[in-house]
Structure 1
Amino acid sequence: MKHLSHTNRLPRVLIADDHAVVAEGLCSILQKSCDVIGIVRDGRELLVEAPKLEPDLIVLDISMPVLNGLDAAEQLKHFLPKVKFVFLTMKDDPNLAAAALNLGKVGYVLKHSLSSELLHAVSEVLQGNAYVTPRLRSENWAVQGLRARQVSQDLTPRQKEVLQLLAEGRPMKEVAQILNVSEKAIMFHKYRIMASFNLKNNAELVLFALKHHLIS
C-alpha cells in the first residue's frame, strides 16, 4: 500500500483501485480539496489498511481483484461504521448503482465522468447525502437494483470471497492460501454455492459471478 503525507484540516480520503494510473489520477484530483492518506490495490488490502488509517471517506473501484469493492465496503462497515464511500465504475448499470446504494448514503460515479462530478459526489457524500451520476437516475432503478442484489445477499461473506476468487480463475490451492483456510474448506464452500443455485460446472459458476457483479 502507498502511504501519502497528510494534514488534519481536510477530509481524510483513502483510494482503492487496482489500476495504478487511475489511482494516481484520482489522487491528483482529490488532493486539491482532500487529504489523500493512501492508495490500495484490491479489496482485501483495503480491509487490512482502512482500519489502520481510519479515513473519513473511501473512493473505490467496484471491479477490484481478490475482493470487489461492494463486498469490501459491506465488510468494512462493521469495523468503520462512520466511514463513507464513493464508488467508481466503468459500468453505467442502474442495478449496480442501486446495489451500491443498499449500503447507505454513498456515491456512484462513472470513471469517465468529469473530475468536477467526482468532487461534487465526494462533497455530497461527506455531507451525509447520497449521490448517483445523473445518467443513471430513473424512477425504477432502485427497485431493479434490489432485485439484482438479492441473490448475492443469499451468500455468506465467505462464500462471496470464494466465488469471486474461483471465478477469477484462481486454482483451489491459491484461493485457500489467500483466505488462510484449507483446500477442503474451499471445496465445501464451492459445493454449497453450486448446490444452492443449481450450478452444474465451473463455466456456470463464472457466469453466475458475472451476472451478479462479483467479477467484471
Structure 2
Amino acid sequence: MNKPRVLLADDHRIVAEGLKSLLADEFELAGIVEDGRALVQAAQELRPDVIVADISMPLLNGIEALARLKQQEPGVRVVFLTMHRDVAYARRALQAGAAGFVLKHSASAELVQAVHAALRGRIYVTPDLAGELMQASGQDAQRQADPIATLTPRQREILQLIAEGKSAKEVAAVLGLSARTVEDHKYRLMESLGIENSAELIHFAIKHGVVP
C-alpha cells in the first residue's frame, strides 16, 4: 500500500530535514520547498496528499500561498507548522482553509497526528491554542476587524515584498508588473491604511504577522 505523499515548505532547510525524518515512517516525501511561491508551484505539479508548511516564508507567506491554492484546488490540505503562538495566526490560517495548526515545539508529539487528521478531512489545532481559539471565535463583532483582511491579495503580496526590503523595481520583477504599477499599489495601500511612509508600512507588516 502506498504511503500518503507530503510536501514540506519551510525556509529553514535544517527544520525541513528534521520534519522529513519525523514523517518518514508513515509518509512519502513529495518534495521540499523554501518559499511561498515555490510552494504554490510545487503543489500544482506534485499534487501531494497533504502539505506541511511554515507561515513565515519569503516572497509569499504560507497563508497567502494557501489562499492561492484554494482558488485552484479547493480540496487542498495544508497543515501549518509555526513558531507563532499568537491565536490571531491560528484564526487567520483556519479562515483561509487550513487543515491544521501545530506549533513547532510540539511537532514531535503532534505533527503526525495532525497530518492523519487532515487526510481524514478533519481539522487539527494544537491543544495549546484550542481553548483560546474557541474563546476568540465566541466573541462577536465587537472585536476590531483584521486590517489585513481588508487588503486585496495583490496588496498583501506587495506589502510582504516591501516589508522584506525589496525595492519597487525588485517587487515588479517578482510579480511581473511595472515598477510604476507597484508604486501605485503601494500608494493606495498606504492611503487605505492611513500610513504615511515606508517605515510605518514595514512596522505594520511586522505587527500583523505579514513578515516575522
Check if 1:21 corresponds to 2:14.
yes
Could you tell me which residue of structure 2 aligns to residue 123 of structure 1?
Answer: 116
TM superposition score normalised by structure 1:
0.91
- For residue 214 of structure 1, what is the amino acid of its counterpart? V
The offset of 1:14, in angstroms, is: 0.5
Could you tell me which residue of structure 1 aligns to residue 60 of structure 2?
Answer: 67
SS of 2:52's partner is: strand
Could you tell me which residue of structure 1 aligns to residue 171 of structure 2?
Answer: 175
The CA distance in 2 between the partners of 1:19 and 1:114, in whole Å, is: 15
CA contact under 8 A between 1:94 and 1:144: conserved in structure 2? no
Check if 1:104 corresponds to 2:92.
no
Task: Label 1:94 to 1:145 Cα distance change in 2 as closer, same or farther (>3 A).
Answer: farther
Task: Label 1:149 to 1:170 Cα distance change in 2 as closer, same or farther (>3 A).
Answer: farther
CA contact under 8 A between 1:87 and 1:109: conserved in structure 2? yes
Q: 1:142 aligns with which of 137, 146, 149?
A: 137
The CA distance in 1 between the partners of 2:171 and 2:121, in whole Å, is: 37
Q: Aligned-pair RMSD on alpha carbons?
A: 1.9
SS of 1:164's partner is: helix
The CA distance in 1 between the partners of 2:13 and 2:179, in whole Å, is: 32
TM superposition score normalised by structure 2:
0.92
5+ residue gaps in structure 2? none
Could you tell me which residue of structure 1 aligns to residue 185 of structure 2?
Answer: 189
Could you tell me which residue of structure 1 aligns to residue 5 of structure 2?
Answer: 12
The CA distance in 1 between the partners of 2:53 and 2:194, in whole Å, is: 32
CA contact under 8 A between 2:52 and 2:81: conserved in structure 1? yes
- Calculate percent identity across the aligned residue pairs: 49
Aligned positions, number: 209
| Deviation per residue, 1:86-137 (Å, 9 max, x gap) | 0011111111111111123511011111413111111112111111111112
SS of 1:38's partner is: strand
